Amino acid sequence: MAWSIAPVLVAIRIGFNQGRSRSTFQGWSLRWYLHDPELSVLHDESLRQALLQSLEVSTLTMLVATPIGVALALGLARWRGRGSGAANLLMLFPLVTPEIVMGVSLFLVFDQLFGRFVPITFGTTTQVLGLVTFSISYVVIVVRGRLFAIGKDYEEAAMDLGASPAEALRRVLLPLLAPAIFAAFMIVFAIAIDDFVISAFLCVQGCETVPIKIYSTARLAPSPSLNALATLMLVTSLAAIGLAVAVQRRFIAKREAGARSAIEDFARLEI
């Protein structure tokens, strides 16, 4: 565990280096974040653009993939007819497919299919569509896990009390799924902002994300500003995952507190 974290910590430390060297540490500084007039993340237009592109792509992917994944999870969890098993296996396909195969396949689809019948330019749109295709399975897994934990009792109780299936879904099931949906939002965001392979295959010019920018620049004359940019991306990903975990824990604590309160109320009635 410590061995896997050590290179990340070294890279983060170089991002705070006073000098330009990436091998010798010369003192702590925010030069590569703010102060260098040409090469810092704040002043370098290409680094700023890469950071904004990553945030835009990951946010759009999150907003598109999560609702679709939630709908698929609900459908697959409730579907018991012929073909449901095949549909469930098909949903896991992006998870077991090597990402480079997925990237090449998506490139060919957009180039051959959409290129002939639908005018589409390789850039933000194709990156978002590709990442949505790749990340929907994660949403389905997260939400379905919560669906299995909830069961059908709450929906059935609501419908027994006169609610329609749509009302039971909107007023009962979706609030119970809220923590899982929020966690899915954050997981998709973290996956998309960190993706390199699919984003690189589906980008031509003017759509470099942070991973693509780091890879293309590191082969030339890299400066510690790349480490600073990578650190910002790492902090953003960790913040998204941490926020999802915090919401889950808060929900569990609130549910346990509610259960204890109900038990205490019942005990008082018995007395």
CATH code at position 153: 1.10.3720.10
Could you give the CA distance from residue 22 to residue 225 in angstroms, rounded to a whole number? Answer: 10
Could you give the CA distance from residue 251 to residue 15 in angstroms, rounded to a whole number? Answer: 37
> The tokens 């592109």 sit on which residue?
53
Instruction: Locate all alpha helices (DSSP H) within the chain, ordered by sequence.
Output: 2-15, 45-78, 84-91, 93-96, 99-108, 115-117, 124-150, 153-160, 165-168, 174-194, 197-201, 210-218, 224-270
Q: Is residue 102 assigned to a domain?
A: yes
Q: Is residue 38 assigned to a domain?
A: no
**What is the total count of domains within the chain?**
1
Cα–Cα distances in Å, from 213 out to 100, 203, 205? 18, 12, 12
The answer on pLDDT for 266 being more than 60 is no
Q: Is residue 243 assigned to a domain?
A: yes
Amino acid at 270: E
Task: Yes or no: say if 62 and 185 are a contact pair by the CB < 8 Å rule.
Answer: yes
Q: Is residue 31 assigned to a domain?
A: no
What's the average model confidence in pLDDT over 237-242?
A: 84
The answer on pLDDT for 64 being more than 80 is yes
At what angle are helices 124-150 and 45-78 packed, to 10 degrees? 40
Q: Give the domain range for residue 220.
A: 44-270
Q: Is residue 105 assigned to a domain?
A: yes
pTM: 0.81
Q: What percent of the chain has pLDDT over 90?
A: 15
CA terminus-to-terminus distance, the chain: 53
| CA angle, residues 198, 202, 205, in degrees to nearest 5 | 130
Q: What tens digit of pLDDT does each residue of 33-49 get?
A: 887 777 777 777 888 88
pLDDT at residue 259, as a whole number = 46
Q: What tens digit of pLDDT does each residue of 90-110 get?
A: 778 888 888 899 989 898 888
Local structure of residue 28 (DSSP, 8 states): B
Could you give the CA distance from residue 36 to residue 29 in angstroms, rounded to a whole number? Answer: 10
Q: Is residue 104 assigned to a domain?
A: yes
The answer on pLDDT for 54 being more than 50 is yes
> The tokens 């059908």 sit on which residue?
152
Q: What tens digit of pLDDT does each residue of 189-198 get?
A: 989 998 999 9
Q: Is residue 11 assigned to a domain?
A: no
At 28, give phi and psi (nearest 5°): -80, 140
Task: Yes or no: say if 203 and 122 are a contact pair by the CB < 8 Å rule.
Answer: yes
Task: Yes or no: say if 124 and 216 are a contact pair by the CB < 8 Å rule.
Answer: no
Q: Is residue 263 assigned to a domain?
A: yes
